[in-house]
Amino acid sequence: MAELTLVDAVTAALDWELGHDESVVVLGEDVGVNGGVFRATNGLQRKHGADRVIDTPLAEAMIAGMAVGMAAEGLKPVAEIQFMGFIYPAVDQLINHAARLRNRTRGRLSCPMVLRAPFGGGIHAPEHHSESTEAMFAHMPGLRVVIPSSPARAYGLLLAAIRDPDPVVFLEPKRIYRLARQEVANDGAALSLDVCYTLREGTDVTLVSWGAMTQETLEAADRLQAEGVSAEVIDVATISPLDIETILESVARTGRLVIVHEAPRNCGVGAEIAALVAEHGIYDLKSPVQRVAGFDTIMPLYRLEMDYLPGVTRILDAVHVTLEG
């Protein structure tokens, strides 16, 4: 066991797979010599060689296209996009090729690639560096979208993503890259994809979140406990395909649901969760579903960034509303 930060866990998972599977390659801007903009690939090129950890030009469409071609020919590429705000040139390759390859070839080819990208706000980065547009990728059939919220889940979920036979968009919440350390067994054990993780059991309200906002959600649950309110906390982890059954089972026990995410509220993943609960669990609800989200505007830079991100107070306010409903 070693105490790792989330970014350490990403490095450890990449190192493990590079060392145990010769078909795995890592590619992206500055991932080799410099070890990545957030140091997530630090030391990997020195250890595994420049033919396994490949520095590329500044060309996101090319990086994604190379990954698709590598995957179709039997490799398992893990491509890094430096920031989610730079991911959009790669979307063409993801939508038209990676996500469709298995269907287009009627199963003759698959696309076992991972596209990693740091995402989200909270580090006061310049424009194009603080986006949370995970809903866009969740809308694409054929893609898995995975978001870890702790070092242990980052390690296990990234291993699972690399081993998956289909394309995975793996979004890493950079605000919590180095927020805390957690004991992680570097033993190559993967976690399950496509399932939610119940982080805390409760009886009065279900709190659902993912990524960096899981931290504020857990803190809100602690404060609710001091008020005598028992909150169940669920980390979605894989937002597509969505494990709605775990959420529905929780809502059946608690009767109340608050969804927390930092992406804009309009057409966010929270809206899909709320709709599915309304379709399949409306008779279990004792009050309307509440959503706590970012605002429907461009992320305001520097001074207002932390005001844009949902905080514990906003989560508590939403819980109090649903408890009174």
- Cα distance between the two ends of the chain: 46
258 and 319 Cβ atoms separated by less than 8 Å: yes
Residues whose CB falls within 8 Å of the CB of residue 197, separated by 6 or more in sequence, listed in order = 153, 234, 235, 237
Q: Quick check: is 129 catalytic?
A: yes
Dist. CA 220–CA 216, nearest whole Å: 6
**Could you say which of 20, 97, 128, 129 is catalytic?**
129
160 and 192 Cβ atoms separated by less than 8 Å: yes
Active site (catalytic) residues: 129
